[in-house]
Amino acid sequence: MISIVSLAFLIFALHAPSSTAFDMSSSEMSVVYRYGELALRDPASYRNEIVISPRPYSYLLADELPASWDWRNVDGLSYTTPIQNQHIPVYCGSCWSFSAMSSLGDRLNIASNGQHPDIMPAPQVLINCGSAGDCNGGDSGAAYAWIYEAGGIPDTSCQAYEAQNRACTAENICRNCNATFSRLRKGQTCFAVTEYPKIYVEEHGNVTGDAQIMAEIFARGPVVCYIDAGPLEGYTGGVNMYEGAGRTNHAIALVGWGETEDGLKYYVGRNSWGTYWGENGWFRIVRGGLFDAGTCFWAVPSSDFSDYRGVEHSEERMGRRTDFGSRDRVSKWSTEK
Ligand SMILES: *[C@@H]1O[C@H](CO)[C@@H](O)[C@H](O)[C@H]1NC(C)=O
Ligand SMILES: *[C@@H]1O[C@H](CO)[C@@H](O)[C@H](O)[C@H]1NC(C)=O
């Protein structure tokens, strides 16, 4: 009898592009199917960071940070994007995309000082074109690198979440539909939109360990980290102790930290499993205990919002890569390894 795990492997193998960051021969591959969450991370896919500004941990020491911090409530203002659900309308292992895009959306709110309405970068565009993964898993750090290289990503009003692997076509980047009426039939036409505002990534990189992670969150906003989804299954609230955790297979966003009255330190995280999971979609997990957040990923969005103010963006701003085109799914970092 074929086991669930080998069946899942088979399904994965059928979908996996060959010789990409998801080469199954990698013994380090973090893939666990048991909980149905797939955040693949191939150590060979390590990529160069793009660092322009000083790293927050270089100027913010751990003991200078507040005992608690939470981007959901900073002096009575929330800077966080809404909880989403990667699993509807059908199951999709796109945690890597949701965690990366929700954190980027938070950072847009932070960059604008809460003076700009929420903008949600489109997770589906990453699935369609990002060369960083799909519904069978992916890599949040690679997602940020792709947005940087591609020269921006549209928001969800360009591309709704479908929870499906789609081809990278113009219509699957930014789309609109209109109604068509004739005497014989009523229908619709969908078409690619070619002029649309984009969200830009100016810098991207990683941080490792609590001191670096906390300085990064505090100075610039939420980060994406990898976790074993197992201990989060069935979580209904409180500080998760991360007991029985194995290898990482899921990506989440860390948006802050705190300490209980009993002195138990925790991180505040956002999941992408709907508001009916955990603490209305959020969770707290032990910090400095069994949960080692390890290496987390960050991206600094452009803070000028000129696309969203209808201001013409300069060629320089668009300089890196302006056409999404159909892009080979083999990512740069995996071919260069
Ligand atoms: C983090 O950045 C460093 C420095 O650029 C790099 O050497 C390392 O491979 C990166 N780690 C990951 C997991 O991408
Ligand atoms: C709908 O969009 C198509 C493609 O852009 C266009 O050719 C057509 O004229 C539009 N129809 C209406 C009714 O706006």
Tell me the per-residue pLDDT of 51-94, one tens digit each, with 9 for 90 and over. Answer: 999 999 999 998 999 999 999 999 999 999 999 999 999 999 99
Which helix H or strand E contains 14, and what residues bound it?
A: helix 4-15
Residue 181, φ and ψ in degrees, nearest 5: -120, 135
Q: How many domains does the chain have?
A: 1
Tell me which of 225, 249, 271, 296 is the catalytic residue: 271
**23: in domain:** no
DSSP string over 264-303: -EEEEEE-SB-TTSTBTTEEEEESSSS----EEEEEEE-S
| Mean per-residue pLDDT of the chain | 82
Q: Which atom of ligand 2 is nearest to the CA of 178?
A: 1
**219: in domain:** yes
**Residue 253's beta-bridge partner residues?**
224, 270
- The CATH number linked to 224 is 3.90.70.10
Residue 30, pLDDT above cutoff 90: no
| Nearest in space to 291 (alpha carbons), one of 233, 336, 226 | 226
Ligand 2 centroid – CA 180 distance (Å): 8
What confidence score (pLDDT) does residue 320 get?
38
**78: in domain:** yes
Q: Which residue has the higher pLDDT, 305 or 25?
A: 305
Q: What is the pLDDT of residues 123-170, one digit of tens each?
A: 999 999 998 999 999 999 999 999 998 999 999 999 999 999 999 999
Ligand 2 neighbours by CB, cut-off 6 Å: 178, 180, 189, 191
Mutation test residue for ligand 1: of 47, 50, 212, the one with most atoms within 8 Å of CB = 47
Nearest ligand to the CA of 208 is: 1
Residue 230, pLDDT above cutoff 70: yes
Q: Which residue has the higher pLDDT, 12 or 163?
A: 163
**225: in domain:** yes
What confidence score (pLDDT) does residue 212 get?
97
Tell me which of 135, 204, 250, 296 is the catalytic residue: 250
Nearest ligand to the CA of 337 is: 1
DSSP string over 77-146: B--PPPP-BTTSSS--B-HHHHHHHHHHHHHHHHHTTT-S----B-HHHHHHH-SSEETBEE-HHHHHHH
Q: CA-to-CA distance for 200 and 197, rounded, in angstroms?
A: 10
Ligand 1 centroid – CA 217 distance (Å): 18
Is 271 an annotated catalytic residue?
yes
Q: Which residue has the higher pLDDT, 135 or 17?
A: 135
Task: Note down the domain range covering 97.
Answer: 42-51+62-115+132-150+202-323
> What is the value of pTM for the model shown?
0.82
Among the ranges given (42-46, 72-76, 89-93, 249-253), the one the predictor scored with the smallest mean pLDDT: 42-46
- Most confidently predicted of 1-5, 135-139, 307-311: 135-139
Tell me which of 85, 87, 92, 95 is the catalytic residue: 95
**289: in domain:** yes
Nearest ligand to the CA of 142 is: 1
**104: in domain:** yes
**105: in domain:** yes
Which helix H or strand E contains 69, and what residues bound it?
A: strand 69-70
- Check if the beta carbon of residue 248 is closer than 8 Å to that of residue 35: no
**166: in domain:** no
Q: CA-to-CA distance for 99 and 224, rounded, in angstroms?
A: 6
CA distances from 161 to 49, 241, 308 (A): 28, 32, 21
What confidence score (pLDDT) does residue 38 get?
59
- Most confidently predicted of 152-166, 177-191, 290-304: 152-166
Ligand 2 centroid – CA 156 distance (Å): 22
